[in-house]
Structure formats: structure tokens, C-alpha cells
Structure 1
Amino acid sequence: MFRVDSEVGALRQVILHEPGMELERLTPRNKDELLFDDVVWVPRAKQEHQAFQQLLKDREITVHLLHDLLAETVKEEHAKTFVLDRILNARQPHLGPSLSELTRETLAETAPQELATRLLGGLNKRELLQALGGRASRCLSLDLLSDDDFVLAPLPNSLFTRDTSCWVYDGVSINPMRKSSRNRETIIYETIYTFHPLFANSGTPRWLDGELAAPAALEGGDVAVLGNGTVLIGLGERTTPAGAELLARSLFQAGSAQRAIAVELPRTRALMHLDTVLTMVDTDAFTLFAGLDRRTLRSWTLTPGAHGAPKVRENADLFAEIATALDLDRVRVLQTDQDPYATEREQWNDGCNLLAIAPGTVVAYEINEASNRMLEDQGIEVLRIRGDQLGRGRGGPRCMSCPIERDAV
């Protein structure tokens, strides 16, 4: 039922996360720790996201919301036990055993909708004490917290559903995240894919199980399903070579892919994922950040080898290798011609982070005027959405979407 066979084939089903409590708890003091560049005007962000959802629905794409999936999942007691055992146990260093147990017992009594809100939006000391209603015994870790300190931190990056799980051909990778502040997202997706009725009996292979794969790191923004048995993986700030190799090995062993192309990226915040600089927009076309020289991008091709170890060779030309993998004479590499200042601004505003919903049709932030015009000049249909607030965590339409069903091309 669920599989993703390309980057640009018709999109059928997708997981999104509508902004909620987790973004309301961003402050100038905690935003860096929570991996955001600025605080967010949440009502406007919700409006922008709802418009994004509606655009997809108008194109007959089924939208599943992460909060709803999680709330439906934790109605099942086994699922609730599964997620709480992993998030709140005696080994949590910032809580300690007593506070972990107290918080776990409290959340175990919480109704599914509220539990989903807390798992994504966080829980502070004041809220924990209110839930306990005077039943709390003294606890050293709790005593030392101020009323607004978090027992469970919010997960504002859950907005970017692409990163934590990504579907590659007939299976799903539940990803080991590079930043510790996103580790709880991995557990949430493990819970959903294990227990939610949509997925529990689907027989879907798991390419990676995030908790087991760490400390290797892989994030979905660095993974592109090119089709024809090929996957493209970015190696930059968030995905490690070990994570890329683990994914390739798993795909090769199952026979679900025959080639992985790994490309080296600058290790900077602005270029954190492959899809912040390079996105497939048509069956033969890619948009590439104008600040990168296509001729100097280092890449390697991994293919199945003996005893499970992939064979590795370095490529002379990334895009020539992609063309060969896709049985094309060449691919079009589309770059926006503008001054360096505008180039840098549009990349910061996710000018290359585009969600293809069909061959040659993409969703883009309206703010990137030059990049959008360039795409249209090249025959690409651009569906513009507002993202003034949504983009403050450095993510565009592709980052905000986790396709779970997409056609081949």
C-alpha cells in the first residue's frame, strides 16, 4: 500500500505536521538549543501550513497529520507503554530516575489527544505539578527546576516530517538524528509505524531503526529517491558516511535498490541537508543552489558487493552519474542567475527546497521570486505558498512533507 518509487512521480499520500504547542514554546533564549533561527508567530504559521495542506488536498493528495496519527496510536495501551518506556526511563540523564518515573506515571494517565500534544509540545514543571494535584513526593531533580523549566522539551522540528522518517522504494527508514534535541522524534515515528492501524500490519520493511542505528546519523532531507533503483544521499551537516552506508546496505540486501550515489556537501547550517541545495523537479531536471559549482561536487557510487559490504567508486561528474543511473543521455541542472547577495538570500529562504507533486510541478515558497521565475522559464509549474513564518526553522515545502505513497515515473 505504501511505497515511494521516485522524487517526482504523482504524489498520493503524505505526512505533515501542523504547527502547535511546540512552536508556541520557542523563545529567544531556547531557540538555538531547539535548532530554530528565530521565534515564530504561531497563528500565522498555522494559516500558512493550512494553506499548504489545502493546496495538496486540492490536487487529490491524501494528507495525514502527525499529531492525529500519534493520538490515534497511543489509544492502544501497548503503544502508550512502548513510547513512554523509551522516552522516560531511569537512564534519562537530565531527569534522573525519580523524576522520570513520576513523569511517566503522570503521562500514562493522560488521554490520547493530550498525550500526543505533550509528547510533541513538551511538559514543564508547573504543568506536571498541576497534573499531579498535590500527589507528588519530594524529588531532588524536580525541586531544582523552576516552574517554567521543561521536564520534556518541545519538539519544534517535528514540523519537518521529511527528516525523521523517509520512505525509500518499498520500505521506510526511521532515522537516527544527528542532533540530540530531535531524538524523541525518532521514538515517536517508531511508535506510529509499529502500532498505528495504517502501518501495523502493512509488512513494510524497515531500512533503518533509528534507536539501533545511532550513533550513525541519517536524515531524510539528505535522501532522494531518484527512481530506477537509485537513491541519492547527501553527506553534510546532518548525515554521516556511516548512516549513508547503513541505508545502502539495507536496500541492497533486500534488492530494493541497486545503486546509491553519495554527494559531499559543505557542513554548514545554511546547507544542512541535500534538499536545501539540490532538488529533483522533473524526470530529467534538478535545481541546484547557484552558490555551488556542479563541476566540483565530489560524489561516490555504492553498488552491492560481496559479504554485504558495498563496492565504492568516486565519480568524475555527479550529474553524468545521475544521468547514467536514470538511463538518460543527460540531465538538466537548473541554477538561478542572480547576484551573490540575492543568491544567498534565496538559498537561506529555501529557494531549492521544492516539493514535487507530479513531474514538472513543484510547491515553492513565494518569497523566492527569482528562483521561481527561473523554474517557470524552464517549463516547471510552480505552485507558490506563503512561508514567512514556516521557514524560520530553515525548511521548505520538501522538508515539511514525508511522502508515504508516490508513483514511479
Structure 2
Amino acid sequence: MSGQNENFKVNVTSEIGRLRKLLIHSPDSGIGKVVPSKAQDWLFEDIVHLDTIRKDEYDYYLKLLMYFLDPDKIKGKLAAIDSEAANRGFYKPNHPNFHNSANVIEVQNLLADILKDEYIRKKLTAAVCAIEGCTYKLQLKLSSTEPKELAEIFISGTMADDTMIFAPIPNLIFTRDVGTTINNFVLLNKPAKKARVRETMLMRYIFFNHSFFEAYRGNVLEIPDPTQHFLRPGDEPEFRTTLEGGDVMMVAPNHVLIGVSERTSEEGANEAIKLLFENNVVEKVTVVKIPAKRDYMHLDTVFTQVKRDTWVILHSIAHSPVYDANEPIHFLKEPEKLETTTALQFHKNNPGQPKVFEHVEALLDDISRNDLGSKTPTQVIYSGGNVFPYDSREQWTDSCNLLAIKEGIVLGYDRNDKTVEAFKAKGFNVAKVKDFIADLESGKIDPETVTDTLILMPSAELSRARGGFHCMSLPLLRDDLVY
């Protein structure tokens, strides 16, 4: 993949512009080594079946992306790819039959590329071994390991002989969380959980050292800790500066949303705002504060954009209860303990006077009409059709975590039946991915002309990892919207 960087561009100005390049990571063997006693420490709710995720679920995701982003590698070749011998490798980065696309870009490939440089290989190996507490002898052994194999070891935690030497980083499949492309800048994360420290470091090395990003190294932004942060008491979450990519949305060329959540702190949002304004990246940042609960985790687990005038959202986040001092339960809980959602919009030219939105739905309407120039009434599709208990059940399995490949064409899980019905009620076509891919291969569907479709992806195992396709993508290049 190195050497294909002559025309490589990084630029994302919306959530829904036609997707051209993105970073992904195919499920690796480390996911198949998550054990029940460590699952929650490694941020998994359950142990999942690796082969099912790879062959029966993620494989469809890869193929669909290829038809839209790199059709020459798949169009007319689907039968050969689907043959038993070939398909074993389409989703395995080190396999001869792996797709190796320069548009659907595999993180593990980029890592292997930079590890070819002996200086970087030794430096990164030392850093990983320091984090993981490895012996010096193991460090020397890893430093002399072939780059492709070493990249796999760093991600899976497993040597070629299947010996585990440190924990896997199974969350790397959720590439969105390691960073966000904002115009032609990349804002890297600062993770809230120890389980994500190694993947964050690997991504930092990639963005600062891979030839793809050579022209953008000055545009990679890192969240700093405030001065003398080490004097803060303990390691309590309220004192930490954290920010994760799932809490950052590039909704318009001059507008970024940042969620304050279980994983992103007020301090992290504050440092991000300062970075974005000081570097003239955007003109306004809206901070959306959601309840700091595992149920929600990130901003993109409670809403995502479908079209410039259409959003999918959890109703309780769209319209949270307003504090009323005369309501006894509100008085007893105090304002900060209510499960409310607030939205404050800060402008670069006047950050001291933020605009307050009545509720999140009002914010989304403002983005659609005033940022994106929508001339039609803003449409809201509610998780589970806003019917209890399906609203919460389906949000938990990522009904609101959709990836737009282009405006109106979104990927979601097939298990969220009530949300699917809500999409149909708004006039969307609904297609199973297997049928959709068959129609792409036959030419019945043209990626350039297809409109308003929710593509249903198999989800029995992937949904148990607690992340949807918005989580499983880090867009690097989208077409600008035409206004």
C-alpha cells in the first residue's frame, strides 16, 4: 500500500457526503481470545464467535464498501471471491486473497507499512513493551520480527505460535473511536479506558509516520492534558481529560458536534474546542451532554444522520426532561443528577456566549436547515419507533449507529425490527445486504443513482460487541455536499 499516496486526500465536511476513503479494521484473532473474566475490562459485554463475525457478518460489510469505494476490485469477481478457497482470506489482512484496497483501508496494513522502518519498529516496540510490562528479551525478539507479523502481534497480543503475550485490543474494529476527520484535519482521541491505550498509540504512530498522511502531519491534532494535570487528585473520571471519536461528529464544513458522555469528559471537550478554534479548523462547536451511562457510551450511539433533512435518534435523548424545581423528584435528585441532555453551541468569534438549544432535536433541525440548507421539514426517525420497550432495546443493539455511504444510503443491523418499520414509514426502501450485493453485481443497482435505502446487515455476533457501522468506520474522504 505504501507508494500509493500521490493523490491521497484527507477531507470530510459532513456525515453524509459520498464516502470515498475510510479506515477499517477487520476482526482479528484477538477478538476470538476475549475471556469472560476480562470481557468488561476489555470493553466487551460478551464473548463472540470469531468465524461467524468474519465470514457471515463483517464479510458483507467489506464487500458492500468495495462496490461503492473500490468497485474494480470486486465488480464481476464476486463469484471467485465467494469461492470457499478465496473467501477465507478476503477479510484477513495477511492472507494472499485479502482485498488490500487503497480506499477501504486496513489499519493493520498501515501498521505493517510503518514497521518496515527499523527505527520506527524499534521505537514502537519499546513503547508497546513499556505499556505492557514485557521483558527486555521479549522486546528484542519483537524488534526483530517481520513487519507484517509484528503488526498482527501488536493488535492481537498473540505470537505466531498462538502464545498470548499480552491482552488483545478487540475494540480496534471500532476505528471511529481513535479519531475523527474534520475538514482536512484529524483529531486523535484520548481514551477513557486503559484497554484502548495501546490502539491509540498505534494509531498515533500511523498518522504521524505513514506516507499516506505525510502532507497532513501538521494537521493531526492531539488532546493535551492541562498544565500540572498530574497534581489532580487520584485517577477519578471527573478529573481526567478524555475524548473518544464516537463523541465527535463532523456535521457541516464549519460545525463539529462533541458529546460529553461516559467516555468523553468536559475537560476533553474543552481542550478539543480550544484546539479546533486555535487552528481555525471550524467556526462553531456544539457540545451535547448526554447521561454518562454505559447504555449510551458515545454520542453516535444515540443519534446519527441519514440525509441532510433526516436523522435517527433515541427519543429520550431527543427530548430529555427539563428541570423543574417544583417537581419533588427533580428537587430530590438535583439538576446535575437528572438524566438530561443539554446542547451548547460555542462560536469561535464569541466563545463566551454560547447558544443554548432547547433540546437535541432542535439542534438537529438547526443543522439541517441552517448549516446544510435543507428546504424540506426536518425528519426524525426514532429508535424502536419510539415504542417502549423497543426504543431502548434497539438502541442497545445500535439502531441509532448508522453509517451513511452516501446521502440516504445507510447501513444498520437487521435485528432492529421496529426501527426498520420506522424507516419504511418515512419512505425508505429496506434491503437485506445479501440481496443488495447481488443486485450490485448484476448491475440492477447502480451505486451512483440508488437512493433512500436502509441496508440491513447480519448482526447476531457483531451486535454483541456493542458497536454499529458508524463505530466501525473512520471516514478519511467524503465528497462535499452540493448546496
Counterpart in the other structure of 1:396: 468
- 1:42 maps to which of 44, 47, 50: 50
Structure 2 matches for 1:198-347, cutoff 5 A? 198-203=212-217, 205-209=219-223, 215-294=240-319, 296=321, 297-305=341-349, 311-326=353-368, 327=370, 328=373, 331-335=378-382, 336-337=384-385, 339-347=387-395
Which sections of structure 1, spanning at least 5 residues, go unmatched? 132-147
| Aligned AA (1:15) | L
Counterpart in the other structure of 2:444: none
Q: 1:154 deviation in Å? A: 0.6
Q: 1:322 deviation in Å? A: 4.1
Q: 1:321 deviation in Å? A: 3.7
Counterpart in the other structure of 1:163: 177
- The yes-or-no answer on 1:175 pairing with 2:189 is yes
Q: 1:207 deviation in Å? A: 2.4
- 3-state DSSP of counterpart to 1:173: strand
Q: How many Å separate the matches in 1 of 2:343 and 2:123? A: 40
Aligned partners of 1:175 and 1:218 also within 8 Å: yes
Q: How many Å separate the matches in 1 of 2:215 and 2:226? A: 22
Counterpart in the other structure of 2:20: 12
Aligned partners of 1:320 and 1:331 also within 8 Å: no
Counterpart in the other structure of 1:66: 107
Q: How many Å separate the matches in 1 of 2:27 and 2:241? A: 29
- 3-state DSSP of counterpart to 1:320: helix
Percent of counterpart pairs with the same letter?
28
Instruction: Kindly report the root-mean-square deviation, in angstroms, between the aligned alpha carbons of the 2 structures.
Output: 2.4
Which sections of structure 2, spanning at least 5 residues, go unmatched? 1-8, 71-102, 230-239, 322-340, 428-451
Aligned partners of 2:346 and 2:353 also within 8 Å: yes
- The yes-or-no answer on 1:55 pairing with 2:96 is no
Q: How many Å separate the matches in 2 of 1:216 and 1:119? A: 26
| Aligned AA (1:165) | G
Count of matched residue positions in the alignment of Structure 1 and Structure 2: 380
Q: How many Å separate the matches in 1 of 2:363 and 2:47? A: 41
Farther-moved stretch of structure 1 (377-386 vs 211-220)? 211-220
- The yes-or-no answer on 1:369 pairing with 2:403 is no
- 2:144 maps to which of 96, 100, 109: 109
Q: 1:305 deviation in Å? A: 4.9
Farther-moved stretch of structure 1 (34-43 vs 340-349)? 340-349
Counterpart in the other structure of 2:457: 385
- 1:187 maps to which of 180, 201, 205: 201
Q: How many Å separate the matches in 1 of 2:225 and 2:168? A: 19
Structure 1 residues 331 and 246 mapped into 2: Cα distance closer, same or farther (>3 Å)?
farther
Structure 1 residues 255 and 376 mapped into 2: Cα distance closer, same or farther (>3 Å)?
farther
Structure 1 residues 210 and 118 mapped into 2: Cα distance closer, same or farther (>3 Å)?
farther
Q: How many Å separate the matches in 1 of 2:253 and 2:196? A: 32
Aligned partners of 2:247 and 2:300 also within 8 Å: yes
**TM-score, length-scaled by structure 2:** 0.73
| Aligned AA (1:49) | Y
Structure 1 residues 41 and 259 mapped into 2: Cα distance closer, same or farther (>3 Å)?
same
Aligned partners of 1:16 and 1:401 also within 8 Å: yes
Farther-moved stretch of structure 1 (295-304 vs 64-73)? 295-304
After superposition, what is the alpha-carbon deviation per residue over 1:376-400, rounded to whole angstroms, capped at 9, x for unaligned? Answer: 3323410111121112221001101
Counterpart in the other structure of 1:137: none
- 2:406 maps to which of 346, 358, 379: 358
After superposition, what is the alpha-carbon deviation per residue over 1:257-300, rounded to whole angstroms, capped at 9, x for unaligned? Answer: 11111111111112101111111111122111134342543111
Q: 1:313 deviation in Å? A: 4.3
- 3-state DSSP of counterpart to 2:124: helix
Structure 1 residues 338 and 317 mapped into 2: Cα distance closer, same or farther (>3 Å)?
closer
Q: 1:315 deviation in Å? A: 2.8
After superposition, what is the alpha-carbon deviation per residue over 1:104-157, rounded to whole angstroms, capped at 9, x for unaligned? Answer: 21210111111111100014xxx59x89xxxxxxxxxxxxxxxx7x64211000
After superposition, what is the alpha-carbon deviation per residue over 1:289-333, rounded to whole angstroms, capped at 9, x for unaligned? Answer: 134342543111112257xx7653433343334444551576322
Q: How many Å separate the matches in 1 of 2:468 and 2:425? A: 21
Structure 1 residues 401 and 293 mapped into 2: Cα distance closer, same or farther (>3 Å)?
closer
Q: How many Å separate the matches in 2 of 1:71 and 1:259? A: 37
| Aligned AA (1:185) | E
- 3-state DSSP of counterpart to 2:477: strand
